[in-house]
Amino acid sequence: MQISRITVLSGGMGGARFLQGLLHGIRGGEVPGVSPEAQVTVVANTADDIWVHGLKVCPDLDTVMYTLGDGIDPERGWGRREETWSVRTELAEYGVEPTWFGLGDRDVATHLVRTQMLEAGYPLSAVTEALCRRWLAPVHGDGLRLLPMTDDRVETHVAVADPDEPSGRRVMHFQEYWIRLRASVPAETVVMIGLDRSSPAPGVLDAIRDAELVVLPPSNPVVSVGTILGVPGLRAAVRDTAARVVGLSPIVGGTHVRGMAEQMLTSIGVEVSAAGVGRHYGARSRGGVLDGWLVDTRDEDALPALRDAGLEAAAVPLMMTDPDATAAMAAAAVSLVAPGATA
């Protein structure tokens, strides 16, 4: 029996890069146990979303959409390729904030379409479907679906120490912490505004329940996968699905490869290690969300502790250097939790 339905809970760059390799491997018949025609559903984080200059921007949805639709700038890893920046320059000339947010000219078209549709009353899930008709359908047909985790407004905010403030701290949108401050100061707390009152977007719970394999890619465990799992009902769906659930560590050799997983894990008191993140997600057999956890070969010594925590665990190279290397990671993840699936 080959796996034909896979659901991936994704953030932006780490998730998108993993998905690119996963799809490359699956369609090339290089992921043993998975049908080359397998349907892949992506449930993407929307807690990074921000309104800027009157436009609704969804960084993680767009990074996944542009990456898998071959429109991404490969060097930056976000935004459109062959981008120009006239809109940003003109806005700066007016002196309007925020000047730190990178709105490219080509990218602006996406945000204009999205904002107009939202204002006409369409939910984000319907808007995303419409945008994906341009980006995903031509490349992937109907073998790939992208769903926002929720249609509701959820925003991650970060508190940092600030002696200039009467309270001694300043709270800002996650994007400001990440882009303007470059996550260079410790995050005292991370708050997901609206998360506890949100509902899963249409199709999300079914995609988890009906999947044969659920994957937690090497995405940020706090502000990407953590927020997705925090949508009420979602964690329970992952815990209860008949699918096998496997994750790949975003922490390699005690640090994130790129991004700021380290700062976020520290702020919630989770050890910054492959074992720490695996235990944080936890084994489904003990109330967590994972059956298996893949770590990098450099973290091989974490395997006994992970197995003690009730997880199936293995160590393989986890650097997403190119689609072939990433496809090999995906294949290792499948064989860890579904060794019985045959080609």
Binding site for ligand GDP (CB under 6 A): 10-15, 60, 63, 218-220, 224, 249-250, 252, 256-259, 261, 318-320
Taking CB positions, which residue lies at the least distance from Ca ion?
12
Partner that binds at residue 320, options Ca ion, ligand GDP, none, CB closer than 5 to 8 Å by kind: ligand GDP
Query: Residue 216: helix, strand or coil by DSSP?
Result: strand
Closest CB to ligand GDP among 125 and 249?
249
If the CB atoms of residues 11 and 33 are measured against ligand GDP, the closer one turns out to be 11
**Residues in region 1-20 near Ca ion by CB under 5 A:** 11-12
Q: How far is the CB of 2 from Ca ion (least distance, A)?
A: 32
Residue 227 CB, nearest approach to ligand GDP (Å): 10
Instruction: Choose from ligand GDP, Ca ion, none: what does 49 bind? Cβ within 5-8 Å by kind.
Output: none
Beta carbon nearer to ligand GDP, 10 or 125: 10
Contact range with Ca ion by CB under 5 A, out of 30-38, 40-48, 66-74, 87-95: 40-48
E strand segments, 20-165: 34-44, 50-52, 55-57, 144-148, 155-161
3-state SS assignment for residue 212: coil
To Ca ion, the closest distance from the beta carbon of 45 in angstroms equals: 6
- Residues in CB range of 141: below 8 A, 6 or more apart: none
124 binds, among Ca ion, ligand GDP, none (CB under 5 to 8 A by kind): none
Q: Could you give the CA distance from residue 343 to residue 341 in angstroms, rounded to a whole number?
A: 7
Give the burial string for 186-215 (b: 16+ CB within 10 Å, else e): ebeebebeebeebebbebbbebbeebbbbb
Site for Ca ion in 45-74 (CB under 5 A): 48, 60
Minimum CB distance to ligand GDP, residue 83 (Å): 17
Shortest distance in whole angstroms from residue 269 CB to ligand GDP: 17
The span from the CA of 157 to the CA of 171, in Å, is 7
Nearest to 261, CA basis, from 322, 220, 216, 202: 220
Burial class (CB in 10 A: 0-12, 13-18, 19+), 141: exposed
Q: How far is the CB of 142 from ligand GDP (least distance, A)?
A: 24
Q: How far is the CB of 225 from Ca ion (least distance, A)?
A: 10
CA distance linking residue 139 with residue 268, whole number of Å:
39
3-state secondary structure of 218: coil
Nearer to Ca ion, 14 or 71 (CB): 14
C-beta of residue 187 within 8 angstroms of C-beta of residue 158? yes
Residue type, 105: D
155 binds Ca ion, rule: CB under 5 A? no
| Residue 250 binding partner per list Ca ion, ligand GDP, none, with a CB distance cut-off of 5 to 8 Å that depends on partner kind | ligand GDP
Interface positions with Ca ion (CB under 5 A):
11-12, 48, 60
